[in-house]
Amino acid sequence: MASCNLTLVRRLSTSPIARAMVKTPIQVYGIEGRYASALYSAASKSKSLDKVEKDLIEVQDLLKTDTMFRNFVLNPTLQKEAKRQAMEMVATKKKTADSTKNLLLLMAENGRLNKLDSVATSFRTLMAAHRGEVVCEVTTAKPLDAAGQKEVEATLKAFLKKGEVLKYSTKVDPAIVGGMVVTVGDKYVDMSIASRIKKYTEAISTAV
């Protein structure tokens, strides 16, 4: 894992040699986490963290608003070289940081552009932690009323360390039936009724 990340750092870095990774403020996982961590390290070395974050926010906005761009990025049948050339054009047009451009080209070469939105989200999570922010998303089956939101926010703030700032958002997903799912930084807690039903169903099936 470490050697994989270091290889990515070398590919993303604007300097000829990347001797070691810069440690990320928190861990992010999966393929997107590896790319995001390597990008964080490369951008740290070139002192372009804020610019890279801004670039990736613009890329995410493009994925949301430009159907043609999104379909192009997600199309698995297109040749890698065609995607690489397109990403180079995007980077040039948007005047991205070199580290951002290297990321886009590398992901195109590796056939990983379908993970681009996830990589951007992981990088933004790292940047939030870098600023001392704790990103938290609370998912409920129905919207919380004002009192419920205030209670949940107060509970979450009680777990913050000195100097940390809570970045709190809510999301509604009827599929969880009831209860809530909480994501805090790199931690995930499923307290939904749907997950309990699944556990009970599996327990019953095993017992029969």
Tokens of 72: 């192009």
Where is pLDDT greater, at 15 or 146?
146
Q: Can you tell me which residue has the tokens 């930084």?
A: 185
In whole angstroms, give the CA distance from residue 193 to residue 199.
Answer: 10
pLDDT of residue 207: 67
In whole angstroms, give the CA distance from residue 59 to residue 45.
Answer: 22
Confidence of residue 183 (pLDDT cuts 50, 70, 90): confident
Q: Can you tell me which residue has the tokens 């990515």?
A: 8
In whole angstroms, give the CA distance from residue 125 to residue 137.
Answer: 12
Q: Which residues are registered as beta bridge partners of 187?
A: 184
Pairing of strands 133-140, 179-184: antiparallel
Average pLDDT along the chain: 87
pLDDT of residue 17: 46
List strand residue ranges (DSSP E) for the chain, in order: 133-140, 165-172, 179-184, 187-192
Mean pLDDT along residues 132-149: 89
CA 143 to chain CA centroid, Å, is: 24
pLDDT tens digits, 82-130: 999 999 999 999 999 999 999 999 999 999 999 999 999 999 989 988 9
Mean pLDDT along residues 49-67: 96
pTM: 0.70
Tokens of 13: 């870095």
> 119 and 107 in contact (C-beta within 8 Å)?
yes
In whole angstroms, give the CA distance from residue 73 to residue 116.
Answer: 8
Specify the length of the chain in residues: 208
> 91 and 100 in contact (C-beta within 8 Å)?
yes
pLDDT of residue 134: 84
Confidence of residue 13 (pLDDT cuts 50, 70, 90): low
Mean pLDDT along residues 128-152: 89
Helix (H, G, I), strand (E, B) or coil at 91: helix
In whole angstroms, give the CA distance from residue 161 to residue 203.
Answer: 38
Q: How far is CA 22 from CA 2, 18, 46, in A?
A: 12, 10, 11
User: Does 140 score more than 50 pLDDT?
Assistant: yes
